[in-house]
Structure 1
Amino acid sequence: MRKLIESTFVSLDGIIDDTRPSTASRAEPQHWGHPYWDDDHAGYAQKLTESADAMLLGRVTYEGFAAAWGAQSGPGADEMNSMPKYVASRTLTETTWNATLIQGDVAEEVAKLKEQPGENILKWGTGELDRTLVEHGLVDEFHFWYFPVVVGAGKHLFEGAGFDTTHLKLADLNRFDSGIVVHIYVPK
């Protein structure tokens, strides 16, 4: 069975994104995380991408990635653009950027994807989709990239998720010279 691996950037105060107009762009990971993106960061992200042959994305991450990666080419970008993507959304009616819109029950469809032959399925970002994934025990590994920055406002990791307490086991830890520490957790 394929593993579903979730990878998310997190500030030290637990911020993952900006969803409130009052916080503007300061809470967006591409702004507060950018000063720490170096060769270690790129190498780890590449390793995660190379371990997968498909991506699972929520609408917000999908739209952001499509805008950022869709026009790029070259090493890394070509792999990202050509990898099949599965998008969970209640509002999209069509997709581009080599993506398939998940139809029907998301938990059932993701479980079917995991049963198919292949490598890992990589999910970037934490958001509304995680409520369903965690509730149904579909995430096999969480890679939380903790950045050495306090953002002060924005959306917190698993904010409003609404699922029961979920215990995880620390499986590994990766430290980068930039100060990023990636905590890898698996279900307990």
Structure 2
Amino acid sequence: MSKIVAVVRISMDGVLEEFTPFWDEEEDKFQRGQLFASRALLLGRRTYDAMSKVWRAMTHEDDFAARMNSIPKYVASTTLSDADWSSVVIKGDVAEQVAKLKREPGRDLLVYGSAALVNHLIEHGLLDELKLLLRPVVVGAGRHLFPSGVAITTWALAGTTVFSSGAVVLDYRPVGFGG
């Protein structure tokens, strides 16, 4: 059975954004470890669209780009009917299909970004780890990881990693539901 691990980059005010000035060798090592420890990516459609445009163009880069381009990807989408870039669209009941993928033997399934997918996985008890990559910046506006009205869940801090840039990885595991 595989674990489902989500890595989500957020600002101090909880906004999902890309803050490239904070990417450094330490984060590169962290991200490389996550990608190479995984057997496949689970992505929402918006994240898939953004990542596929960027990474397809990086065919000449290093082994990270080669891994990103070749790793199997499962895309949860109600609007996408077909996908390329080593991808399969999850059709029908996303929770049911992801649960089947999770039951397969092998390494982790990695979720990048994909706030709606992360929330769906949490709602159905499928997310095993949530790694918040907290960037030391307040951006003031944007899309948040958790929407207003989300069900209360309790998480246990399993570990932290502090980068010299001031970014912090907060590694959480679900422990139950409340409220």
TM-score bracket relative to the smaller structure: over 0.9
Q: What is the distance in 1 between the residues matched to 2:92 and 2:153?
A: 26
What's the Cα RMSD here? 1.0
Counterpart Cα distance in 2 of 1:127 and 1:113: 19
Partner of 1:183: 170
Find the counterpart in structure 2 of residue 58 from structure 1.
44
Q: Deviation at 1:126?
A: 3.6
- Alignment correspondent of 1:143: 131
Match of 1:4 in 2: 4
1:75 is displaced (CA, Å) by 1.8
Answer whether contact 1:126 1:158 (CA < 8 A) is retained: no
Matched, 1:15 2:15: yes
> Runs of 4+ in structure 1 displaced over 3 angstroms?
none
Any idea what the Cα deviations from partners look like across 1:39-92, whole Å, max 9, x if unmatched?
A: 001000000001101000000000011011012123200001000000000000
Give ranges in structure 1 of 5+ residues lacking alignment. Answer: 17-28
1:156 partner SS = coil
Cα distance per residue 1:115-161 (max 9 Å; x no partner): 0111000000042222321111100000000000010111122124x
* Counterpart selection for 2:25 from 20, 24, 39: 39
Letter in 2 for 1:154: G
C-alpha contact 1:57 1:124 (8 A) present in aligned 2: yes
Query: CA contact under 8 A between 2:6 and 2:118: conserved in structure 1?
Result: no
**Residue 69 in 1 paired to residue 55 in 2?**
yes
Q: 2:46–2:114: 8 Å Cα contact kept in structure 1? A: no
* Count of paired positions: 173
1:164 to 130, 151, 166: 151
Between the aligned partners of 2:119 and 2:20, the Cα distance in structure 1 is 28
